[in-house]
Structure 1
């Protein structure tokens, strides 16, 4: 399962803890970054030692379909999460033998680390498609 970490932070002043269900150890937690690979001001982080951030993905100003027609640019860790779920599908398509944990490990191992960004904020880094 892939889940958003939450949008309750007000960085740099305050970082909120990762929310459930992403705070569960069996759930891959996704943080949001902007187009310059900076942690989104609203993105929650691993501040309580319970919920962790595993990966990050674009989550600021994402062009999204809107109810009633048209599109809007919206932001949130819920905008970053589909990027990670889609990349997971690409890895699974490439190697159908990958189980949930193996898939998780491959995505973390192939994530792009960004100098200056802490694992508490972006986990292994920004998710990368195969």
Structure 2
């Protein structure tokens, strides 16, 4: 199962050249950039770990690509995403966000159904990755 979050998630993984083109677009718009990673890509997990500090003064897409590749080396089996923020509205607004790395194996999610009183049905999404301890969720099986 392929996690579909952010822009371009329905497309094949972007190459480094395509990532650099998207970073260049973000910089042309005046957006600040950051890189984040996680081993829990649940759709409601909006707080991924930040790689370094946001790149407010970035001028060249090569700088962002360098940081993406450093994050890839440090976390080869985790999800990594690139974010661009638009500060024109006086608050941090995500203008562009896309995944730049995925684990080799994406275990996916299951739906847990629970019947409650008055014929109500609750459905919860459970990522299979959470069945393993943090840091070991996407390692070799």
Q: Which has the larger radius of gyration?
A: 2
Structure 1 and Structure 2 fold alike (TM over 0.5): no
Q: TM-score, normalised by structure 1?
A: 0.29
Greater strand fraction, Structure 1 or Structure 2: 2
